[in-house]
Amino acid sequence: MKNILYAVYGSNLYQERFVYYIKGGEFEGHTYQGCNDKTEPEDYGNLFVPYRLYFAKESSRWNGKGVAFLTCEKEENDKYHTLVRLWKITEEQFDCIWKQEGKTYYHRKIYIGKKDELEIHTITGCWLKEKNRPTEEYLWYMKQGLKETAGWSDEEIEKYISKF
């Protein structure tokens, strides 16, 4: 099975939460189906991608508040590029995660490029007209993930998120 790099930018930055998409089970009151291949993802570092982060839609998982997306059009101003964490997983796991995330919300697959000969992909949705602030709980997971991913301080994380 071919490996790829899945570029994540929202609550899936946080490893403890993300692995439930692969392994399945219950986490914080939500049941995850998991994938057939339960191989844990490999942290493959991070990078900035030329897409702007925003929050939109009404997620029942997050009390009707917004979740993170990337713009469907590239962002020219690198001040607004988004930090992503790269998870090395199989294509099969990527498709499984995409299905669990909901292809109606995350209907756009974006090819970002390559790192070490591995293709980098992410998923997003084009919902700029449906912006909606996230819950503090959602932001907590995202902030913990940013600490793991970039080693940033609380102040650096607040400055980063406040741009969006």
Q: Is 103 exposed, middle or buried (0-12, 13-18, 19+ CB in 10 A)?
A: middle
Domains with residue ranges and CATH for the chain: 3-162 (3.10.490.10)
Cβ atoms < 10 Å from Cβ of 51: 23
Strand order through the sheet with 82-90: 42-49, 82-90, 3-8, 118-124, 108-115
Residue whose pair of structure tokens reads 């591995």 in the numeric block: 118
Q: Per-residue pLDDT tens for 116-156?
A: 999 999 999 999 999 999 999 999 999 999 999 999 999 99
Give dist(CA 21, CA 97) in Å, integer: 6
Give dist(CA 14, CA 132) in Å, integer: 21
Among the residues of 50-151, which ranges form H helices?
91-101, 136-150
Q: What is the pTM of this model?
A: 0.97
Q: Per-residue pLDDT tens for 68-109?
A: 999 999 999 999 999 999 999 999 999 999 999 999 999 999
